[in-house]
Structure 1
Amino acid sequence: MSKDCQIVAYFDFDGTLSNKDTLIPFLIYCVGIVKFIAYLPRLLPVVIRYVFKTIDNQEAKQKTLTIVLKGWKEEDILIKAKNFATTHLNKYLIPETYAKLEWHREHKHRIILVSANLAIYLRFFAELHKIDDVIATEIEIVNGVVSGKLATPNCYAMQKVIRIKEYLESNGLNFDYAYGYGNSRGDHEMLLFVNEPYYVVSGEFEDYHQLNHSK
């Protein structure tokens, strides 16, 4: 590819850049382990309904956020989000995937996190690591207070592609070539959307086109 070629790399976060889902650690960080345990009797029915597929991941996430974060002041949740991103997320990073991110940064590619998890703390992570932008699930804040609802659809599966297209259009961007990195069913559509998709497994990168063709 020529030096003038405009290139973007889309990275999923949980399980791709990080070695675990980071939502529960974030919620525990916000309220403390004792209070989080106190919420478990209310959270358990949500988990059961999700496991048995009577609610989808968007509804499960929204119910969880309502139980744990509803009523928080915006300034308080932002402080927690920034501190969590700067003091906790680094310990979850997968070195091999982060090295890929650094490679893209060294080559002046645009880097965008595309995650079903919460933008409120991923933006602080992105700022810390010189990542260009974040496309993720937004929580609703009304009159400076967390409502417990989602302000956007859960950024998962086809929603990732929808949100990417909206982002490109709203920012007047048109890339010549796109990389994609993911690790789960929720990344399938995004990986099919890009030119060069990689499925990340234990720090190894498998060509997603080849994986699909072999099935």
Structure 2
Amino acid sequence: MNTKPGLALFDFDGTITTHDTLFEFIRFSKGSSAFYTGFLFLSPMLVLFKAGIISNSQAKQYVLSYFFKGMDVHTFNQWCKDFAKQCIPQLIRSKALDEIRQHQANGYKVVIVSASPENWVKPWADSLSVECIATRMEVIAGKITGKFQGMNCHGEEKVERIRAYLNTNDFSPIYTYGDTSGDRPMLALGNHAHYKPFRK
């Protein structure tokens, strides 16, 4: 008889949400005009990313530095909380939310594992009473630098962060959910792995 609790690990952007929340957060906090102007300026960097010359992590830090470098962390975090409350609920896939609630009803530990900054992912996760592992933003002298504290929570780093957070051997079954190649290492942790499950 299995006496271990179940575990459900969910990617956030594209799996639970319909859109990438980084772009939506920039639009929310900076406005559409600054959003489009910024990405026009950043377009050469985005070409390098698409060509595989710079990594996902490097590209994200370029974007975050352009829009938020030097911002007071308290102001940044308030924007993140407002975004989590006002905008994220509109981006959530209803089937994903139903799946989370079903796992909670079954007594499973539910953890969101995201490459997006925890500054806005965690407030939303907290609102559902689920746990969160996400990319951490670097703060120096109370200011956002635009860089990461540690590694981008993407690819193999998701697995490293999960294993630092909990012992997967303590759980059975393990459900995993993702939608990109960057989620495949995490998906492999599950004995019930689901790739793009909520898009039908």
Pairwise TM-score range, normalised by the shorter structure: over 0.9
Q: Percent of counterpart pairs with the same letter?
A: 28
Q: Structure 1 residue aligned with 2:136, among 135, 138, 141?
A: 138
1:77 matched to 2:76? The reply is yes
> How far has the Cα of 1:177 moved from its partner?
2.7
Q: Give distance in 2, aligned partners of 1:30 and 1:16.
A: 23
Q: Which amino acid aligns with 1:146?
A: I
CA RMSD in angstroms, aligned pairs only: 1.7
Partner residue of 1:110?
A: 109
Q: Which aligned runs of 4 or more in structure 1 are off by greater than 4 angstroms? A: none
Gaps of 5+ in 1: 205-215
Q: Which amino acid aligns with 2:196?
A: V
Partner residue of 1:196?
A: 192
Q: Which moved more, 1:194-203 or 1:94-103?
A: 194-203
Partner residue of 1:158?
A: 156
Q: Give distance in 1, aligned partners of 2:12 and 2:40.
A: 29
Gaps of 5+ in 2: none
- Structure 1 residues 186 and 109, CA gap change in structure 2 (3 angstroms): same
**TM-score, scaled to structure 1:** 0.87
Superposed CA offset, 1:119-157 (max 9, x none): 1100100111111x1111111011211011111211111
> How far has the Cα of 1:202 moved from its partner?
4.6
Q: Give distance in 2, aligned partners of 1:54 and 1:7.
A: 40
Q: Aligned residue pairs: how many? A: 200
> How far has the Cα of 1:38 moved from its partner?
2.9
Superposed CA offset, 1:177-210 (max 9, x none): 3111111111111111122111124534xxxxxx
Partner residue of 1:46?
A: 45
- Give yes or no for contact 2:16–2:92 (8 Å, CA) kept in 1: yes
- Give yes or no for contact 2:5–2:107 (8 Å, CA) kept in 1: no
- Give yes or no for contact 1:97–1:203 (8 Å, CA) kept in 2: no
- Structure 1 residues 11 and 143, CA gap change in structure 2 (3 angstroms): same
Q: Which has the higher contact order (CA 8 A, sep 6+)?
A: 2
- Give yes or no for contact 2:4–2:170 (8 Å, CA) kept in 1: no
Q: Give distance in 2, aligned partners of 1:98 and 1:202.
A: 10
